[in-house]
Chain A
């Protein structure tokens, strides 16, 4: 297997590359991004690219990759300006698919890390979105529009290239030890914002299940679109209770104005798509991906609990996950040390 990972500089890209390195049947890993990988990688080859991935065509031809892991869709609009986000999500995806679908292309599998943000959050929504359902209101924010555009490109790509297995995974809000999202940032504050009079049902997926799901799609053939979210929904008030935080209300009217000082004071950036989630919440049906064979490690409540635990440890010792470094060193030792006996012979 020869794999191309986009967004190697992102949390997910680095994580997946690290995981791919541990697989024997993965011969080549090429990582693409504008920034350096976040985690130390051993045999992944890093290629520095433009944000719009214009050199992709040449890379795909030269490396003859058969699998593309597109982890580079930006979902958190607080990270980038609208224009940069559009460039990466829309133009980047377009160039990636153009390269993967070029005549004589070796690509046989494309896996995309998308988001349930695509469904929006509105009072007319069903309580659990199924994959074929569409959002009930036109998107207002740039990040949602760019995700819809990227999704449309993918749909066309799947139709035009029936010989390619296309897996689109839509992840709900992610929580975990390491990942930073508007929700994890909000839950780290001493008091957590809510919208007065609203207590939305929310779903979370653990970061380990995110990498797990992307990995599952890499090693199995699961064509189609799938929601990925922990089982069940938990109201925001209870999310805060599990994490052990008090809530402070924002007014239900002119909420974005009220949230603006928080952004200006660099306390917390709550973009419109997150505010509408805090108002109406969102649920998705996660059963099709389960039927495709994927097993979750965490439910929604389990994800929140795991996050709360890592947060408590962090506040106690000032480090997020001190065991991680240790494990990685051991892993490196097992993989590379001449002292370790492999396949019955020393190397």
Chain B
């Protein structure tokens, strides 16, 4: 987009601004919400505009490190496919009743590449006391499209999404490693609008770390949560199984970046194109998963 076009887009928007229900049009802009000179003298903490605190994140990395190294023994492949600068949308499969993949991916990229990763998740977290605050301090952000756009386009950060959402984590063990529907392809649209590539990621091991054997719809409805699982961990460890993972071997493969041949900052993108790209990325991850499973000799040893 040329400067003139960008200016026109802004002028357009300002006249359209008062129309109610107008769909969200991100406006390109150069200015960022950076700290002003002298601001660092005022601030008492390091919580950024997204609620993430590098200090808290560092502490949680230190606590999680032994689990990462000795429990799950996470192994990476293709880490060079994650860009070292600029925004990128990391897209992964999602598994485990309480997903164990998100912390593993975030920890790995942050320690190996020294880049912050913001994890997009359910709004629900934000409504919970203590949990919601902690979740936000370690890099969790509610999965609002505009939040993702700002992080990717304005702040040029790495953003991790699980397009399967709770359909991925809520699936039963018999459906393991079979990807669910990738939502409505919203993640592709966000990447296109932000002008960033999608980095597909395939995770093997999370499914076996906390397999769901049964689900109770009535309890879930009662507690107003997406699903209520009875996991193998609960049967094995009792109440401790709610957070006790099995030590399955984690293997994470990063696939080559997917770039989209469309201009950024459009109001909408052809639905057919979005769905095609979404399906293509889903297939890539599915293929990678099958390939990795073919090579895996043992769930616990890899």
CB <8 Å contact, B42 and A305? yes
CB <8 Å contact, B130 and A288? no
CB of B144 closer than 8 Å to a CB of A: yes
CB of B16 closer than 8 Å to a CB of A: yes
B25, B42, B142, B150: the one contacting A304 at CB < 8 Å is: B42
Contact flags B1-26 to A (C-beta < 8 A → 1, else 0): 00000000010011111111110110
CB <8 Å contact, A195 and B44? no
CB of B64 closer than 8 Å to a CB of A: no
Contacts of A299 in B (CB 8 A): 35-36, 39
Q: A130 to B35: give the CA distance in the assembly, Å.
A: 20
Task: Quote the shortest CB–CB distance from A294 to chain B (angstroms).
Answer: 12
Contacts of B49 in A (CB 8 A): 127-128, 201, 232-233, 283
CB <8 Å contact, B129 and A128? no
CB of B111 closer than 8 Å to a CB of A: no
Q: A43 to B22: give the CA distance in the assembly, Å.
A: 44
Task: Quote the shortest CB–CB distance from A12 to chain B (angstroms).
Answer: 23
CB <8 Å contact, A242 and B123? no
Bin chain A's interface residue count.
35 or more
CB <8 Å contact, B33 and A232? yes
Contacts of B10 in A (CB 8 A): 291
CB <8 Å contact, B39 and A225? no
CB of A134 closer than 8 Å to a CB of B: yes
Contact flags A296-310 to B (C-beta < 8 A → 1, else 0): 000101101100000
Contacts of B128 in A (CB 8 A): 197
Interface hits, A231-253 → B, CB 8 Å: 231-235, 237-238, 241-242, 252
CB <8 Å contact, B129 and A196? yes
Task: Quote the shortest CB–CB distance from B136 to chain A (angstroms).
Answer: 8
| Contact A195-B129, Cβ < 8 Å, known A155-B18, A224-B15, A233-B49 | yes
CB of B127 closer than 8 Å to a CB of A: yes
A123, A238, A305: the one contacting B126 at CB < 8 Å is: A123
Q: For A132, give the chain B residue with the smallest CB separation.
A: B22
Task: Quote the shortest CB–CB distance from A34 to chain B (angstroms).
Answer: 30
CB of A280 closer than 8 Å to a CB of B: yes
CB <8 Å contact, B18 and A224? yes
CB of A57 closer than 8 Å to a CB of B: no
CB <8 Å contact, A128 and B146? yes
CB <8 Å contact, A301 and B51? no
CB of B47 closer than 8 Å to a CB of A: yes
Q: A224 to B22: give the CA distance in the assembly, Å.
A: 14
Q: For B137, give the chain A residue with the smallest CB separation.
A: A199
Q: For A124, give the chain B residue with the smallest CB separation.
A: B123
CB <8 Å contact, A224 and B51? no
Contact flags A265-294 to B (C-beta < 8 A → 1, else 0): 000000000000000100100011011100
Q: A233 to B123: give the CA distance in the assembly, Å.
A: 19
Contacts of B147 in A (CB 8 A): 126-128
CB <8 Å contact, B127 and A134? no
Q: A224 to B39: give the CA distance in the assembly, Å.
A: 31
Interface hits, B49-76 → A, CB 8 Å: 49-51
Inter-chain residue pair count (beta carbon < 8 A): 119
Task: Quote the shortest CB–CB distance from B183 to chain A (angstroms).
Answer: 17
CB of A223 closer than 8 Å to a CB of B: yes
CB <8 Å contact, B43 and A301? yes
Q: A6 to B20: give the CA distance in the assembly, Å.
A: 26
Task: Quote the shortest CB–CB distance from A154 to chain B (angstroms).
Answer: 8
A126, A291, A305: the one contacting B146 at CB < 8 Å is: A126
Interface centre among B14, B16, B19 (most CB of A within 10 A): B14
Q: A301 to B24: give the CA distance in the assembly, Å.
A: 28
Q: For B44, give the chain A residue with the smallest CB separation.
A: A241
Contacts of A23 in B (CB 8 A): none
CB <8 Å contact, B51 and A201? yes
CB of B166 closer than 8 Å to a CB of A: no
CB of A158 closer than 8 Å to a CB of B: yes
Contacts of B38 in A (CB 8 A): 302
Q: A123 to B123: give the CA distance in the assembly, Å.
A: 6
Contacts of B127 in A (CB 8 A): 123, 280
Contact flags A192-218 to B (C-beta < 8 A → 1, else 0): 000111110100000000000000000
Q: A302 to B39: give the CA distance in the assembly, Å.
A: 7
Contact flags B112-139 to A (C-beta < 8 A → 1, else 0): 0000000000011011111111000000
CB of B294 closer than 8 Å to a CB of A: no
Interface hits, A88-120 → B, CB 8 Å: none
CB of B141 closer than 8 Å to a CB of A: yes
CB of A254 closer than 8 Å to a CB of B: no
Contacts of A134 in B (CB 8 A): 20-21
Task: Quote the shortest CB–CB distance from A152 to chain B (angstroms).
Answer: 8
Q: For A244, give the chain B residue with the smallest CB separation.
A: B44
CB of B45 closer than 8 Å to a CB of A: yes
Report A's interface with B, CB cutoff 8 A: 123-128, 130-134, 155, 158-159, 195-199, 201, 223-225, 231-235, 237-238, 241-242, 252, 280, 283, 287-288, 290-292, 299, 301-302, 304-305
What are the 7 A-B residue pairs with the smallest beta carbon separation, nearest first? A197-B129, A197-B130, A123-B127, A123-B126, A252-B129, A241-B44, A126-B144
Report B's interface with A, CB cutoff 8 A: 10, 13-22, 24-25, 27, 29, 31, 33-36, 38-39, 42-45, 47, 49-51, 123-124, 126-133, 141-142, 144, 146-147, 150
Beyond A133-B24, A301-B43, 16 additional pairs, beta carbon < 8 A:
A123-B142, A124-B142, A127-B51, A127-B147, A128-B146, A131-B17, A132-B19, A155-B18, A224-B18, A225-B18, A231-B34, A232-B33, A233-B49, A299-B35, A301-B42, A302-B36
28 sample A-B contacts, Cβ–Cβ < 8 Å, listed by A number: A123-B123, A124-B144, A126-B142, A127-B49, A127-B50, A127-B144, A128-B150, A131-B17, A132-B25, A133-B146, A197-B129, A197-B131, A197-B132, A197-B133, A201-B47, A224-B14, A224-B15, A225-B17, A232-B33, A235-B45, A238-B44, A238-B45, A280-B126, A288-B14, A291-B10, A299-B35, A301-B39, A305-B42
